[in-house]
Amino acid sequence: MLKKVLLLSASAGAGHVRAAEAIEKAFKQLDRADGREVHHLDVLNYTNKLFRHLYSKAYIDLVNKHPEVPGWMYDKLDKPWKNERRRLALDKLNTRPFVKLLRDYHPDLIVCTHFLPAEIVSWLKAKERLASRQVIIVTDFDVHAMWLVHHYEHYFVAIDEARAYLEVLGIPARKITVSGIPIDPVFAAQKDKQEMRAKHGLAPDRTTILLSAGGFGVGSVDALIASLLPFQHRAQIVAICGRNEELKRRLTRLAARAKPDATVLLKPFGYTREMDELMAASDLVLGKPGGLTTSEALAKGLVFVIVNPIPGQEERNSDHLLENAVAIRCNNLPTMAYKLDRLLGDPTRFASMQANARRMGRPQAAKEIVERLIGLS
């Protein structure tokens, strides 16, 4: 029986942490075993300051200023079983407090939503310095080589193609579950669109576009909003600014200058824990297709408008969304309003894309994963 479950994420972007939080919440809702401990830790809190900076802030800065660099690195390192020794040597050097924590706590099961802890756990198991079982939850639609380890009990992946890829690499089919990416169980709850619009001060009769700048408020949000102003359909933009307070103040001033009868209205929000309600109030989501944001949008049946995906994982997420006809992509902001007007001017196509999104969505992913984990005991 599982007595101690340790959930390990890394705050390199918000998605890995949110996935672990979703699993933790699902455990609390489903776990009926008395005395079971479920803890979630950010592994970067157990590394040195420089390493932590490189993994979090430096990465965000690169994405904003030189997105081609992380994209190049993503492709360069995506060679299964080729770079693991050099990468592991660097990780071992910088994660000694984390290794000590694992050996002191000695959980029965370790659940990784980031590849960094998965690699360290696998190394410890190889050296017989840790007996804990390990499962890995991949938080993008593709499986990058950095997710691959030699010592594990199970992989959870987003789509069938990811399972097929792992099988080709030699991962036994019995050790792979296509679960979807775990999102907060609250996204599985059905909430009335008009009620959510009323609750959050939104107009009831306008096409509602959720503009997602990501959990840290990165990206050219001002330019995105400017590109929507020529929109011919009556619309309102729900602009999620994340923790970027300066951006929220700037957009609030911009929203105040609009006339009440303007074709396009703007409603800025800061960091929120009610994203499920704002998505329930919306018709489309516009932004970068990170694994968690995409999975949340699909769970709510939203059509995705892809803009400036980060080269690498978000480019690949984009490919899957486009292949499944749940998204459009805008490569040139001056054509944004035109493309959206054209989409909304074809109600049959738009309804088909919404249906495809609901079909692709996995709102119960966290629950399904936890049930499977409990079954491993």
Q: Where in the chain is CATH 3.40.50.2000?
A: 4-181+364-376, 186-360
Quote the tokens at residue 316: 């690949």
Integer angstrom CA distances of residue 33 from 110, 315, 363: 17, 41, 24
Q: Transcribe 111-127 into DSSP letters.
A: EESSHHHHHHHHHHHHT
pLDDT above 70 covers a percentage of the chain that reads 90
Pairing of strands 264-269, 235-240: parallel
pTM for the whole thing? 0.90
Question: What is the reported pLDDT for 320?
Answer: 97
Predicted pLDDT of residue 91: 59
Topology of domain 4-181+364-376 in CATH is Rossmann fold (3.40.50)
362 is written with which tokens?
Answer: 């996995």
Please report the pLDDT score of residue 160 as a whole number: 97
Per-residue confidence (pLDDT) for residue 150, from 0 to 100: 93
Q: What is the mean pLDDT of residues 295-305?
A: 97
The CATH number of 186-360, from 3.40.50.720, 3.40.1280.10, 3.40.50.12280, 3.40.50.2000, is 3.40.50.2000
Of 78, 130, 102, 94, the C-alpha closest to 8 is 102
Overall average pLDDT of the 28-52 stretch: 80
Per-residue model confidence (pLDDT) at position 83: 66
Strand arrangement, sheet containing 176-178: 37-42, 4-9, 109-112, 133-137, 154-157, 176-178
- pLDDT band per the 50, 70, 90 thresholds, residue 326: very high
> How far is 133 from 136, CA to CA, in rounded Å?
10
Q: Are 265 and 206 in contact (CB under 8 A)?
A: yes
Query: Buried b vs exposed e over 280-303: b needs ≥16 C-beta within 10 Å?
Result: bbbbbbbbbbbbbbbbbbbbbbbb
Distance CA 189, CA 299 (A): 10
Q: What is the pLDDT of residue 217?
A: 44
Taking the C-alpha atoms of residue 93 and residue 90, their distance in angstroms, rounded to an integer, is: 5
Of 109-123, 202-216, 235-249, the one with minimum mean pLDDT is: 202-216
